[in-house]
Amino acid sequence: EGRLKGKTVLITAAAQGIGRASALACAAEGARVIATDINAPLLQQLAAEHAGIEVVTLDVRDDAAVQALAQRSPALDVLFNCAGMVANGSLLDCSEADWDLSFDLNVKSMFRMTRAFLPGMLEHARTQGGSVSVINMASMASSIKGFANRCAYGATKAAVIGLTKSLAADYVKQGLRANALCPGTVDTPSLRGRIASAADPVQAEKDFIARQPMGRLATVDDITPMVVFLASDESRFVTGQALLVDGGVTI
Ligand code: NAD
């Protein structure tokens, strides 16, 4: 049994962090999980540790690779566009290259992935009579709240929310739901990297925690229940929303 039994879920950036934890959570709920990432060795490790999870190396910035994967994949019930990066800095710190890379990886990848997989998902919804779900990774740092040194990042994540709402509006009558997931600060490898590369790493970690009303960072397992909910039919009346899981930062 399981809350995602019979569903096929594809996740980008699933080799570590929230994407990986989501792959495990969806598999534990009975889904067929296709975990994709650009990092092949980390994916192999995931496959070795969890026999049920299928892994595919995929660079979400590579349009041809995205289209080729969509051609050979089964019709999806759930597409979780999780890939994204943080470019640190204010507007004056942000180079044009950082801005462009942030928009390509954080936003255009979702356009690319969704354009490639959506026709199959809509056909699947039509023939199954059920609903299919797109989950896009946004953040509390977006149109929801501004944070210092998150210029390009906040702009991309606001764009993710806009993209998600347009998808929800266009395809609601065809059985597609689209929602944006907006986590607070989550303890993941890339967060550890941001802390380690700060001028004073001890203080940087304290500062991240200080802005958390609950007094701690999120773990990936604080976030995955929302992923499972949005992937499952339990969220069948939820679409076009930006769902915050932030430990109270935006109270
Ligand atoms: P992470 O940043 O530690 O890992 C990111 C993964 O993305 C890595 O496995 C990496 O190999 C993969 N990746 C990088 N470039 C890729 C590409 N071109 N194609 C495919 N995969 C690629 O993981 P995380 O911190 O859980 O972040 C995942 C998502 O969650 C991101 O979109 C991030 O913006 C978002 N998010 C994170 C936090 C946080 O505090 N960690 C908070 C809110 C939102």
Cα-to-centroid distance, 20 and ligand 1 (Å): 10
CA 115 from centre of chain: 16
Expressed in angstroms and rounded, the spacing between residue 181 Cα and the centre of ligand 1 is 13
109: CATH? 3.40.50.720
1 pLDDT more than 90: no
Percent residues over pLDDT 90 in the chain: 98
Number of domains in the chain: 1
Q: How many angstroms does the Cα of residue 142 sit away from the middle of ligand 1?
A: 16
Read off the amino acid at residue 241. Answer: Q
pLDDT on residue 249:
97
Could you tell me if 58 and 36 are in contact, meaning their C-beta atoms sit under 8 angstroms apart? yes
| From 100, 185, 188, mutation site for ligand 1 pocket: most ligand atoms within 8 A of C-beta | 188
Amino acid at 45: Q
Residue 212 lies in a domain: no
Between the CA of 128 and the centroid of ligand 1 the distance, in Å, is 32
Ligand 1 pocket by Cβ (under 6 Å): 12-13, 15-19, 37-39, 58-61, 82-84, 105, 137, 139, 183, 185-186, 188-191
Residue 193 placed within a domain: no
Whether 197 is in a domain gets the answer no
Average pLDDT of the chain to the nearest whole number: 97
Query: Can you read off the two tokens belonging to residue 128?
Result: 């199954």
Over residues 203-216, the mean pLDDT reads 96
Amino acid at 222: D
Helix 189-196 to helix 201-210 angle (10° resolution) is: 130
Catalytic residue check, 153: yes
Question: Could you tell me if residue 63 is inside a domain?
Answer: yes
Atom 11 of ligand 1: nearest residue by CA position: 39
Domain span at residue 55? 8-186+219-245
CA distance 165 to 239: 8
pLDDT digit string (tens) for 26-85? 999 999 999 999 999 999 999 999 999 999 999 999 999 999 999 999 999 999 999 999
Reading the block at residue 162, the tokens are: 């806009």
Angle (CA) 230 73 5, round 5°: 40
Q: Are the C-beta atoms of 133 and 235 separated by less than 8 Å?
A: yes
Ordered alpha helix ranges (H), the chain: 17-28, 40-49, 63-72, 96-103, 109-128, 151-171, 189-196, 201-210, 220-231
DSSP structural state of residue 50: -
Largest CA distance in the chain: 56
Q: ipTM beyond 0.95?
A: yes
- What pLDDT score does 129 carry? 80
Residue 76 is assigned to a structural domain of this protein:
yes
Of 117, 153, 171, 208, which is the active-site residue?
153
Q: Is the pLDDT of residue 130 over 90?
A: no
CB 136 within 8 A of CB 89: no
Residue 123 lies in a domain: yes
Within a domain: residue 251?
Answer: no
Task: Quick: pLDDT tens for 190-209.
Answer: 999 999 999 999 999 999 99
Query: Would residue 112 count as lying in a domain?
Result: yes
Are 160 and 142 within 8 A, CB to CB?
A: yes
> Which pLDDT belongs to residue 27?
98
Collapse the DSSP code of 200 into the 3-class scheme (helix H, G, I; strand E, B; otherwise coil) and give the result: coil
